[in-house]
Amino acid sequence: MKYFFIVISTIVLSSSVSAQMTHGFELGANLMSSNFDIDNQEIDTKTAVGPRGGYVGEYNLNESVFLRGAALFMQKGFKFENENWVINSIDVPISIGYSTKISSDKLKWFIDAGASIEFNTKATTRIDDETVELIIGKEEGDIKSTSSGISFGTGLEFASLLKFRANYYTGLTNMINTSGSDNWKNQYIGLSLNFLFRK
């Protein structure tokens, strides 16, 4: 995973002189769920909704190809019966994308794919009306402080200023520090608006 970020960073640095830079921000929500196994028993998790938002930057390498980076606050987790399990994180996704005009100079369709490093800041479980904060650390049973995943996105761009983006994310990291078989890997469908300011 780290080699992916090194390669992308090298491309960004080498192309930044000639590339067109775009800054902006993203607001949206995650339809989040998880693959969650305890003692080799798969838990039937349900979809929950969490916020996402933060900074977005893009390098347009040419008229069609772009690099996308972001620093986003978001929630991941799931529901199970009367329980809600949530992790708050700062995610740093980097992806490469392709766009093409579909009807006029002002409307484009795009796709992108990439990976992310996530810094997990808070984890909680809520049972009925009681909220319990989970420990983020390195001990057995703690929630891991960092994680990673991959995602694929698509959407529409309007007038080079506004993007509606949908993306699918699947986690690569077991969120639980364990020497046993317990497993918690997040996934979500993200829906967001990207507001862009081009130089």
- For residue 118, the Cα-to-chain-centroid distance in whole angstroms is 8
| pLDDT digits 0-9 by tens, 3-18 | 555 444 544 444 444 4
Cα dist. 148→29, 52, 83, 105, 115 in Å? 19, 16, 25, 36, 7
Helix, strand or coil, per DSSP, at residue 7? helix
CA distance 63 to 61: 7
Contacts 24+ apart (CB under 8 A), 122-125: 122/87, 122/88, 123/85, 123/86, 123/87, 123/88, 123/175, 124/84, 124/85, 124/86, 125/83, 125/84, 125/85, 125/86
**How confident is the model at residue 133, as a pLDDT?**
95
Domains of the chain plus CATH, in order, are 2-198 (2.40.160.20)
% of the chain exceeding 70 in pLDDT: 90
Full-model pTM: 0.85
pLDDT digits (tens, 9 = 90+) for 20-29: 889 999 999 9
3-class secondary structure, 9: helix
Contact call for residues 60 and 19 (beta carbons, < 8 A): yes
